[in-house]
Structure 1
Amino acid sequence: MKRIIQKLTVAACFVATAFTVQAQNADEVFRAAGSPHNPKVQISFNRYYTAEGLAALGKKIADAYPNLVKRVSIGKSYEGRDMWMLQITNFEKGDPDRKPGFYVDGNIHSNEIQGGEISIYTAWYLTENYGDIDFVTEMLDNRIFYIVPTINPDARNNYMQEPNTGSSPRAGMIAMDDDQDGLFDEDLPDDIDGNGSITQMRRKSPTGNMIVDPQDPRKMIAIGVDDNVPADVVRYEFLGQEGIDNDGDGQVNEDPHGYYDPNRDWAWKWQPDYIQRGAYKYPFSVPENRAVADFVLAHPNIAGGQSFHNSGGMILRGPGAEEDLSTYNRADIRIYDAIGEKGEKILPGYRYLTVYKDLYSVFGGELDWFYGSRGIYTFTNEIFTSFAYYKNNEGGRRGGNLSYDVDSELLMGDAFEPWKTFNHPTYGEIEVGGFKKNFGRATPGFMLEEECHRNMAFTLYHAYHMPNLSISNVEEKDLGGGLKEITATISNDRLMPTHASQDLKYKIERPDYISIAGVDVQAGMIVEDADFGVTTEQKVNPAKLEVANIPGDGFVKVRWIVSGKGKYTITVDSAKGGLVTK
């Protein structure tokens, strides 16, 4: 029986606005473990949203949970769009600026879109589950999340709304002259069949080196040197991506959107374009990146960071280049390893890798700026892996058939545009067809919510291990003569110290302060070895001791010699570890 497949336009795949739907009656819902059972904000996570769509969803979340969310613009894009951030914490408990902060962003590359949905999912999940799931409640009581779903809103919209391939445009929307003819973006690929995707062109040719697969009309088979092709079998030649000669220079598609890469723009080990293709004028010459950097510089409480790219199923840490290898020392690599290896468990099919060693060199990358310049433990996840299609690693053993199998078996033919005839002004009669732009790099809709949840779970695990300080023990000893010795133990029961090694090396952030009030302090000291009584005295301002670092899964001891009676207060003041008082 002939299978009839309803074709949806690409525009329908990228719905820009989520309709407001009232929560269902409680007796109509049976809760699934780990998910909001009757959310105030109804969002479909089986589709992608434009920049305006993400902004609208963020506003709905902020409006629904004003005590948990503040929505702010951290800057403007090149084309003037707001860069919306959702700041998420329990704003009624503690000073939000003094809580350990975790920064999240997505979509620095235009076609790497899943980060937008993962970011919105994270905001949605945290707010909808506050008060229902203890882990979430504790996180928002004691931490703050800074979530920017897209830091490249202009190019996100271009990818979704204009004709593109699955891999274009990578950059932002600043025009450049790629073919050096004095004109900018004047010969872009053209969507000659009007389906919203730039697919492929082929032409019948007696000297062509391809034939149609007799078992599957979607596929082309290369003719080998020893193959005997019958005379009645039609040969084809490929003509590249869809397009025409817009500028009349005898070439097709030779001046696409200018190639600059916003992930080569960050002010850490930056290199110019002639050394590393994709760099723009100078570090932070891209306005979107400058806005992020200004925010991070103004928020020293940020201890962890996460950015989302696609694809390949990778959890990446720096360094981006071997030349920067010494930046990441052994102590911090142990922390990265512990979190990254947990990520491999949370994200089946993903691999924990190092950028320069396992991929290629990157200079001026966001990942390295966050860590190298600010001492923030940061990962980049490359979203989606073919493992997800059939929950195995057989993709590479399918003889190049995996995409075709997925199209027919899982997507019912919706990923491939069938070949159709077109009268080309230069090439004459040709055929146009191939995989649509929303397939390959972008997670299919039915898999997207799982992708969002697993990547969020990894993010929350990372955020959980930001410093968590407590004054775990206070001991008093009477010294006579009206003097008393007070010894306090300050514990950190998470993986991250209050200062990364890079922070300590370059003194990026101020020391931690441990102070005592309510008594007259005669002397103050850090206890180096309690068993042997080794201390280091701070002679200036002894009531406010400066501690270089409070280690992860560790502690520091401090001691004061004081006079006076009555109650006293001990306060720990750490930029990344927060405020603790006892």
Structure 2
Amino acid sequence: MKIFEKTLALVLGFGLVATGTVSAREYDEPHRVPLSFDRYYNYPDLVAAFKTLEKAYPKFLRVETIGKSVQGRDLIVAIINNPDTGPELRKAAMYIDGNIHGNEVQGGEVCLYTAWYLLENYGKIDKVTELVNERVFYIVPVVNPDGRAWWFDMPNTSSTSRSGLKPTDNDNDGLYDEDGYDDLDGDGYICQMRKKVPFGNWRVSSEDPRLMERVPFGEVGDYILLGYEGIDNDGDGLINEDGPGGYDPNRNWPSDWQPNYVQYGAGDYPLSLPESRAVAQFIMSHPNIAGVQSYHNSGGMILRGPGAESVGEYPYQDVRVYDRIGEIGEQILPFYRYMVIAKDLYTVHGGFVTWTYEGLGIFSFTNELWSSYEYFKKKPAESKKRDWRASFLARQKDRMKFNDLVEMGDMFVDWHPYRHPTYGEIEIGGWKKWSARVAPVFALEELCHRNCAFTLYHADQMPKPAIHEVRVWPLGKGVYRVRAVLANERIIPTISEQARRNKLQRPDWALISGKKVKVLAGGPVNDRWLSKMRPVKHHPEKIRLTDGIRGMSERVVEWIVQGSGKVTVALDCVKGGRVEKEVRLR
């Protein structure tokens, strides 16, 4: 427990509660790579920033291409490892990605910040140095580079487009991507359309004429909302029904995948998209990955699976681990809630973090970045009566107040008239794409740091194998009993219960070897005080630990050996690496 408490204190502060020297460095010492986190990076600039970090820190960072997007953009991964402390595949690794949905852009900035923070503070903040020495980080900043480019370069809303840019016939008319949003007034934004009518279901808010409110049942409004800006480009009587892409890259993963008529946007089959296939191939070729973090927006959530109730709850042994990390996450991330996707949000079939846990046995989280509660750093008072109209309007009022007082009115387009070819006289207005789901630039660095801190806490809690003790007892005639106390010094087990039940990874190994030594017997010891070893039938020099080692716990193994000289005891874990200790037989 002391290890846990010490680790938590260090990670929560990441040096902010350390010595005066560190504080002076943070304020006064220039960064080797002075990246700015009060801006958003388009995809070429984001890739260039990672390449700049690679050039500045060639020992620790390399940037590789793991695949191509639909439109041919490179899908990059940044790999952070200290080669002086061992090869990457012999260490527990943290996989981090962002921006699988094209419009959910700030995940890319959090990924960039994480790499930058680790590299810039190596050798300066003890905890960061320890993490870089002992762990590996695989960072895919943008899983959907086409979607990011489209969102940056084209008129969009804050919610469009989630998709990638593989042409898709969403309305089944034989045409592809032929009827998307149109920037009717040419202002560079896709806003809403409204029309004044005698019997409407919306009305202008009496508190702020820029806001619309739904009228209660039995009352009559004077407006209807017509959706986002657009016209009937293909003459089929529908508007905006077949825009670019139109699928969901986060429904294309193998676990609980369902076809499109069950799960909209799932794709033709699991991993049918080049981006998801490239990521899956990378993860499966790196079995040392022991933690997964995916960044989305928005809502202020720390999410875990299952994504569908039909899957059932996860094994309680693993839920305890999830709960501990999630609870700490709520402390690191004010205004974020730790939630279960299927129970607390909605059903997701074929989701990424459900696949990495259910299919691979890796503890995995999705963070939904940014929350409307962060506008004025407060949550609304709890109310037993659920009035969605009042709640919606209250959130809109807060958002408008934030726009007026903090953003100087820059996030809203005032309603103005427009002559529509189908609807006639309408008005266009509403929120710009840089509002709502995307944090304002002045708040971006704090968002990046706190989410980085949560992910580094998760990374620190990945398995940390250790050999606490090796003892030798002579039994006579050159025969010895060797006992090793093996440990896992972090809360994540070396083998999750999900992985154990479904045989998703090889067992851990307890090994003994020596040049002049013959291993006569060996096996685990359930009770170290009774010293009752359960001998394995074959290859006693290599004891299979099929259950692994639980978090913050020890396991004892023993061998009977014959010989002289030194023996080496090793603990070899797929998701933790290998540790060794040498002793002399005497």
TM-score (normalised: structure 1): 0.89
Give the drift of 1:139: 0.5
Pairwise CA distance, 1:145 = 0.4
Deviation string 1:173-215 (CA, Å, 9 cap, x unpaired) is: 1222222222112111101122222101234556666665576
| Alignment pair present for 1:357 and 2:357 | no
Task: State which of 312, 334, 347 in structure 2 corresponds to 1:348.
Answer: 334
Amino acid in structure 1 at the alignment position of 2:103: N
- The 5 A counterparts of 1:345-494 are 345-394=331-380, 396=391, 398=394, 400-494=396-490
Could you tell me how far apart the structure 1 residues matched to 2:50 and 2:513 are?
43
SS in 2 for 1:333: helix
Deviates more, 1:517-526 or 1:570-579: 517-526
State the identity as a percent.
49
CA distance in structure 1 between the partners assigned to 2:256 and 2:213 by the alignment: 45
Q: Which of 288, 301, 305 is residue 275 of structure 2 equivalent to?
A: 288
1:114 equivalent in alignment to 2:110? no
| Deviation sequence 1:319-351 (CA, Å, 0-9, x none) | 11111115x111000000000000011100111
Q: Shift of residue 39 of structure 1?
A: 1.3
Aligned residue in 1 for 2:47: 55
Equivalents in 1 of 2:502, 2:218: separation in Å? 64
Q: Out of 444-453 and 421-430, give the one that drifted further.
A: 421-430
Query: C-alpha distance in 1, partners of 2:370/2:123?
Result: 31
The AA in structure 2 aligned to 1:246 is N
Query: 534, 537, 541: which one pairs with 1:536?
Result: 534
Q: What is residue 513 of structure 2 aligned with on the other side?
A: 517
Q: Which moved more, 1:128-137 or 1:512-521?
A: 512-521
Gaps of 5+ in 2: 1-20, 382-390, 582-586
Structure 1 position 535, deviation (Å)? 1.5
Alignment partners' CA distance in 1, 2:22 and 2:419? 56
Matched residue SS, 2:375: helix
My pick for the range that moved more, 220-229 or 450-459, is 220-229
Amino acid paired to 1:64: A
| Aligned residue in 2 for 1:578 | 577
Separation (CA, whole Å) in 1 of partners of 2:544 and 2:220: 81
The reply to whether residue 271 of structure 1 matches residue 269 of structure 2 is no
Please say if residues 67 and 92 of structure 1, whose CA atoms lie closer than 8 Å, have aligned partners that are also in contact: no
2:298 alignment counterpart: 311
State whether residues 103 and 145 of structure 1, in contact with CA within 8 Å, keep that contact through their aligned partners in structure 2. Answer: yes
Q: Which residue of 1 aligns with 2:13?
A: none
**Counterpart position of 1:102:** 94
Q: Which one-letter code corresponds to 1:286 in the other structure? A: L
Tell me the residue number matched to 1:253. Answer: 240
Inter-partner Cα distance in structure 1 for 2:24 and 2:243: 47
User: 1:420 and 1:571, CA in 2 relative to 1: closer, same or farther beyond 3 A?
Assistant: same
**Conserved? CA contact 2:64–2:76, under 8 Å:** yes
Q: Give deviations 1:479-504, integer Å, cap 9, x for gaps.
A: 01111111111111100111000111
Deviation at 1:237, TM superposition (A): 4.5
1:274 corresponds to which letter in structure 2? Y
Match of 1:125 among 117, 125, 143: 117
Native 8 Å contact 1:198 1:241 kept in 2? yes
Distance, in Å, in 2 between the alignment partners of 1:308 and 1:218 is: 32
> Structure 1 residue 420: deviation in Å?
3.0
Task: Please tell me whether the aligned partners of residues 468 and 494 of structure 1 are also in contact (alpha carbons under 8 angstroms).
Answer: yes
Select which of 172, 188, 200 maps to 1:180.
172
Change (3 A) 1:570 1:222: closer
3-state SS of 1:390 partner: coil
Q: Cα deviations across residues 324-383 of structure 1 (Å, max 9, x unaligned)?
A: 115x11100000000000001110011111111111121111111101111100011111
1:412-444 alpha-carbon deviations (Å, 9 max, x no partner) = 011001223333333444332211011111111
Residue 250 to residue 332, structure 1, CA distance change in 2 (3 Å): closer
Three-state SS of the structure 2 residue aligned to 1:42 is: coil
| Closer, same or farther: CA 354–32 of 1 in aligned 2, 3 Å | farther
Kindly indicate whether the alpha-carbon contact (under 8 Å) linking 1:31 and 1:37 is maintained by their aligned counterparts in 2.
no
Cross-structure match for 1:7 = none
Give me the whole-angstrom Cα distance separating, in 2, the residues matched to 1:262 and 1:505: 29
| Alpha-carbon separation, structure 2, partners of 1:249 and 1:319 | 40
SS at match of 1:282: coil
Q: State the distance in 1 between where 2:434 and 2:66 align.
A: 29
Unaligned runs of 5+ in 1: 1-28, 230-234
Name the CA distance, whole Å, in 2 between partners of 1:556 and 1:244.
67
CA distance in 2 between counterparts of 1:418 and 1:79 reads 36
Q: How much does 1:539 deviate? A: 3.1
> SS of the counterpart of 1:529?
coil
Distance 1:238 1:486, change over 3 A: closer
Structure-1 separation of matches of 2:538 and 2:111: 46
Segment drifting more, 126-135 vs 207-216: 207-216
* Residue number in structure 1 paired with 2:74: 82
Q: Give secondary structure in 2 for the equivalent of 1:197.
A: coil
* Equivalent residue letter for 2:519: V
**Distance in 2 between residues matched to 1:36 and 1:316, nearest whole Å:** 37
Q: Is the 8 A contact 1:36 1:125 kept in 2?
A: no
2:286 paired residue among 299, 308, 319: 299
Aligned residue for 2:181, secondary structure, equals coil
Give the Cα separation in 1 of the matches to 2:327 and 2:414: 42
Paired residue type of 2:429: G
Q: Is the 1:520–1:563 Cα contact (8 Å) retained in structure 2?
A: yes
The DSSP-based 3-state class of the residue aligned with 1:441 is coil
> In the alignment, is the contact (CA less than 8 A) between 2:375 and 2:398 conserved in 1?
no
Change (3 A) 1:534 1:224: closer
Which digits, 9 at most, give the CA deviation of each residue in 1:75-111, with x for residues without a partner? 1111111111111121222112211011000111111
- Tell me, what secondary structure is at the counterpart of 2:77? strand
Q: Which moved more, 1:524-533 or 1:373-382?
A: 524-533
Counterpart for residue 242 of structure 1: 229
Q: Which amino acid counterpart does residue 542 of structure 1 have in structure 2?
A: P
Give the partner amino acid of 1:161.
Answer: D
The answer to whether the 8 Å contact 1:30/1:37 transfers is no
CA distance in 2, matches of 1:459, 1:504: 24
- Post-superposition offset of 1:166: 1.2
Report if the CA contact (8 A) 2:144-2:275 is conserved: yes
**1:41-62, CA deviations, whole angstroms, 9 ceiling, x for partnerless residues?**
1222122112222111111111
Please tell me the residue identity of whatever aligns with 1:515. L
Q: Distance in 2 between matches of 1:286 and 1:430?
A: 39
Shift in CA distance, 185/39, structure 1 to aligned 2, threshold 3 Å: same
Farther off after superposition, 462-471 or 177-186: 177-186
Residue 84 of structure 2 aligns to a residue in which SS? coil
What SS is found at the alignment partner of 1:374?
coil
On the 8 A contact 2:358/2:498 being kept in 1, the answer is yes
Instruction: Give the aligned CA root-mean-square deviation in angstroms.
Output: 2.3
CA deviation profile, 1:491-523 (whole Å, cap 9, x unmatched): 111001110001111211111112122222222
**What amino acid is aligned across from residue 525 of structure 2 in structure 1?**
V
- CA gap 1:562/1:224 in 2 versus in 1, 3 angstroms: closer
CA distance in 1, matches of 2:26, 2:98: 24
Secondary structure (helix, strand or coil) at the match of 1:513 reads strand
Amino acid at match of 1:200: Q
How far residue 317 of structure 1 moved from its aligned partner, in angstroms, is 0.9
Q: 1:228, CA displacement in angstroms?
A: 11
The corresponding residue for 1:555 is 554
Q: Is the 8 A contact 1:36 1:129 kept in 2?
A: no
Equivalent position amino acid for 2:353 in 1: L
Instruction: Give matches, 1:214-233, under 5 Å.
Output: 216-220=208-212
Call closer, same or farther: CA 1:493–1:285 in 2, change over 3 Å. Answer: same
1:137 corresponds, among 110, 119, 129, to 129
Q: 1:501 aligns with which of 484, 497, 503?
A: 497
